[in-house]
Structure 1
Amino acid sequence: MKKVVFASVLAIATGTLCAVPAAFSQAATGSTPSGSSDQITIKDPAEFNAYQNAIGTSAPAAKAAALEDFLTKYPNTVVKNQVLTTLLLTYQQANDTANLLKTAKRVLDADPNNLRAALVYVYLTKQQATAKAATDPAGAQSMLDDAAKVAQTALAVTAPTPNSGISAEDFAKLKAATTPIFQSAIATDDVGKKDYQGAIQNYQEELKSYPDLTSPANAPGINETYLLGQAYIQDKDPKDLPNGIFYLERAAQYAPPAAKDSVEKAAEYWYQKYHGGMDGFDPIKQLAHDNATPPASYAPTPAPPPPAPDKLAHDAVAAASTPEALKNMALSDKEFVLANGNQEDADKVWAVMKGVRTQVPGIVIQATPDSVQLAVSPDAQQSKTADFTVNFTKPLTTVPAIGDSVKYDATFDSYTKTPPMIILNEGSLPEATKAPVRRKPAAHQ
């Protein structure tokens, strides 16, 4: 009778998961505790020898092949869960992302409470969904739903699975390191479904899970802090702009140089919109630098309430006293009247738009070869919501990525007031500006 003791804590701080936050390095090493609960007996000598040969292979690719062969020959082995977990680590060491994800699913099928496998599955599935979102939003959302479901199960795990080869101490480290990743996956799924209240709650829970969140020197979770601010901004009216402004500015304070300016401008935009001016914003910058959450002293004052939207729309139409003046209104002003004006004012504006071909610049929110949804107005761009849809006569050969700045030629076709959306058909790429033809000077006689 031979005994095999397993120690296999996934080394998630290197290889294919190098982009995972550095906190995971806390869970990258571990040891198997002594005790009979983690000792498993392989009674068949041939099976034991096959197992020893497999785990004794040093090269990751060869070891993975040997472990797969062992599982094929002994599909009901008593060490199946442990071999699968070792195989998970081996594929990670081999930088084999495809098989790493498949193996994580196999581990979870056998042990739904395996945090290491859940981490790999959730992280890689979310990563692939993000890459897929531009070309197949429905498929990407299905993947996010799946990742969120696994993450929910993982968050409920409170102790290591028996015979998992992980000590209580290492489990606690792994639990602390993986909790933010699971919360982030659930929040991302909420955003995809436009459940911004759910996203706010889960981003808040994620940020709370960082033990040093309040330390300005470390400022962990800055990307999620930005996404939390965006969720407040994207939430349905009435928006919680004070919280959105604070978390956007908090993210701006610690954002990397490449992103700092754009995040800062977003915070300033919404503060201007909420407060009516930029006075009092510098103290807010300091508060956001020093506090991970809004302190009691954070109390931005709102601007006096503006006139009702329908009155603003009517005044804009009245000021443009002729069809030509209406035609020359800014596109964002026309959109405002269509969304907020009374039917008479909206009809006047639409009369000078319908059937007109124009160039529409915007930020891509969703895209397929046949149709692109854009954020065109400043409010739509800041809240990352689509307000224009361009349908193409011929499918695009290159589908733009979400977040790209684009321009299309298209013809106004219809619009909806709720939700505000202007639909254009016959879309196409703008014709390239032709260079002027240079003529040779006439020869002198």
Structure 2
Amino acid sequence: MKKAVVASLLAVASVASCARIAVAQTPADTGSNAQSGVQLAPAEYNAYTAAIGQSTPQTQAPALESFLQTYPQSKVKEDVLQRLMLAYSSFDPAKTLDAADRLLQVDPNNIRALTFESYFRLQNAEKLTDATAKQAELDKAAESGQKGLDAPKPASLGDADFAKLKEAAAPVFHRAIATAALNKKDSATAVTQLKQSLSSVPVDQTKTPGPLLQDTYTLAQAYYQSTPPDLLNCTWYAARAASFAPEPYKSQMMPLAKYCYKKYHGADDGFDAVATASQQSLEPPADFASTVKPAPKPEDIVKQVIASTPDLATLAVSDKEFILQNGSADDAAKVWDTIKGKSVQFPDTTVVSVSDTALQVAVSDDAVQSKTADFTFNLTAPLKTPPAVGDKVTVTGTYDSFTPKPLMITMSNGAVVEPKKAPAKPTPAHRAPRRR
């Protein structure tokens, strides 16, 4: 009998933005000390050493598969499956998952296999377009991630080696759980898991383009998708991710940072200072909220506009709508009194819906952008040629009433102004050609 030492796969690292496991393996032991090895029959031992001795993953994988077919109950089966999984990981994700599945049947708590399961199932989910199938694959990745975080230390590993293994795999596990949660609109879980992913590594690693920098940006997205949106944290993490990202990713990430900042602050001033500060620290300072002044509340803006506008009738339609929707009853009445009962004509409105008795259109810029009706024109007569949804039409009517939330201004005496036909050009007189 000969013995083979089943290697401890101690070194685990994230390589080239993936969860590929770097394996530190010892060669098979041909000595006589049976305490450190597994006894194998000579033929099995020779097949084992030949398989693991292959120089490339592409040649090692089939050799390991052949060994498993010949010796399906081998005492080194777990070790061979780990090597097989690693070999496949360099060139065949599908077979990597298959090897990981087989390894988990032998060792359900194998952290290396759970790491590959989490990583490659996340990759698979990114390619899926069917929402149900995508979420199912994300949930599988998250399930493997949670099992990996909860996995107990195997007896074959020392405390220090196990800690290194868990530390290297932790970002992959947290990322899988966060991604599945965020896809289900569970922003709170996503925020918790992404922060744990980022805090599980030295801070300098979060500045390097790769999965951890992407985690930083995804954390910003999770804060933005919270209810209500956490605009300050969104600003901080999106700005940090964009600051360290190369192009074209920098230009793709920065707009979210600027949007969240302006949405919170009301203007762009001060953003550059926040972006610079975010490069110095992974987390925002405890007093961050006190350093960025929030934008005025809608009701405060209303009072400011009314106080600074001598003739409220001159306000733009969008400004009048803002006051009707966000102002107090008294402030809304001040604006409404300037237009009630007056007849107006609106050119180039966008048709949202049409019936025999009413036409709903988008008039203000905000309404046009959101494709939402802000005016209802009650028609004096059915339209001879009803416009299609999305058409641009000129309409007339008289201000009759309004509801503030959701805003809808109702007009009486509504009508569509037909475009004027261009005058017909006179037919030029026909003249016979002159004979020469």
TM-score by shorter chain over 0.5: yes
User: Which residue in 2 is equivalent to 1:192?
Assistant: 183
What displacement does 1:336 show? Answer: 5.7
The answer to whether the aligner puts 1:312 opposite 2:325 as a matched pair is yes
Q: Deviations over 1:26-84 (max 9, x none)?
A: x5435599997863223x44434443443344454443223222222322222221111
Cα deviations by residue, 1:310-339 (Å, 9 ceiling, x for unpaired)? 94389899799556565363574257695x
For 1:186 and 1:64, the matched residues in 2 are separated by 30
Instruction: Provide the C-alpha distance between the structure 1 equivalents of 2:233 and 2:162, rounded to a whole number of angstroms.
Output: 35
Q: TM-score, normalised by structure 1?
A: 0.65
Q: 1:74 aligns with which of 71, 76, 97?
A: 71
TM-score (norm 2): 0.66
Q: Does 1:227 align with 2:218?
A: yes
CA distance change for structure 1 residues 346 and 186 in 2, over 3 Å: closer, same or farther? farther
* TM-fit CA distance, 1:209: 0.6
Query: Does structure 2 retain, via aligned residues, the 8 Å contact 1:84–1:106?
Result: yes
CA 1:286/1:172 → structure 2, altered by over 3 Å: closer, same or farther? same
Match of 2:238 in 1: 248
The aligned counterpart of 1:2 is 2
Deviation (angstroms), 1:143: 0.7
SS of equivalent to 2:248: helix
Matched residue type, 1:191: L
1:149 counterpart residue number: 143
Structure 2 counterpart of 1:176, which letter? E
Partners in 2 of 1:74 and 1:92 — Cα distance? 23
- Give the structure 1 partner of residue 51 of structure 2: 54
- Which of 388, 391, 394 matches 1:356? 388
SS of alignment partner, residue 3 of structure 2: strand
Q: Paired residue for 1:96?
A: 92
The answer to whether structure 1 residue 123 and structure 2 residue 119 are counterparts is yes
- Structure 1 residues 20-39: aligned runs within 5 Å: 20=18, 27-29=22-24, 39=37
Equivalent residues of 1:253, 1:285 under 8 A apart:
yes
Please give the residue correspondences for 1:21-420 in structure 2 after superposition, counting only pairs within 5 Å.
27-29=22-24, 39-42=37-40, 44-93=41-90, 95-132=91-128, 135-159=129-153, 161-163=154-156, 168-212=159-203, 221-236=212-227, 238-299=228-289, 300-307=292-299, 311-312=324-325, 322=345, 324=347, 326-327=349-350, 329=363, 332-334=366-368, 338=372, 356-358=388-390
Equivalent AA in structure 1 for residue 269 of structure 2: D
The structure showing larger relative contact order (alpha-carbon pairs under 8 Å, at least 6 residues apart) is 1
Change in Cα spacing, 1:142 to 1:87, as seen in structure 2 (3 Å) is same
Q: In the alignment, which residue of structure 2 is the partner of 1:389?
A: none
Q: Which moved more, 1:136-145 or 1:273-282?
A: 273-282
SS in 2 for 1:3: strand
Cα deviation, residue 5, structure 1: 0.3
Tell me the secondary structure at the aligned position of residue 103 of structure 2.
Answer: helix
**Could you tell me how far 1:173 is from its partner in structure 2?**
2.4
DSSP-derived class of the 1:75 partner: coil
Aligned residues: 342
**Alpha-carbon distance change, 290 to 19 in structure 1, aligned in 2, over 3 angstroms:** closer
One-letter amino acid of the structure 1 residue matched with residue 150 of structure 2:
A
CA spacing shift, 1:73–1:81, aligned 2, 3 Å: same
Instruction: For structure 1, list consecutive stretches of 5 or more residues without a partner in the other structure.
Output: 360-416, 419-444
Partner of 2:315 in structure 1? Answer: none
Q: What is the one-letter code of the residue matched to 2:363?
A: M
Q: Which structure would you say has the larger Rg?
A: 2
Residue pair 1:104, 1:120 contacting (<8 A) in 2 also: yes
**Cα gap change, 1:219 to 1:311, in 2 (>3 Å):** farther
Instruction: Give the unaligned 5+ runs of structure 2.
Output: 303-321, 351-361, 392-404, 407-435
Q: Deviation per CA, 1:82-132: give whole Å up to 9, x if none.
A: 111121223235x23321221111112221221222222211111111022
Q: Which amino acid aligns with 2:123?
A: Q
Structure 2: distance between partners of 1:58 and 1:215? 34
What's the % identity of the aligned pairs? 35
Distance 1:330 1:323 in 2: 10
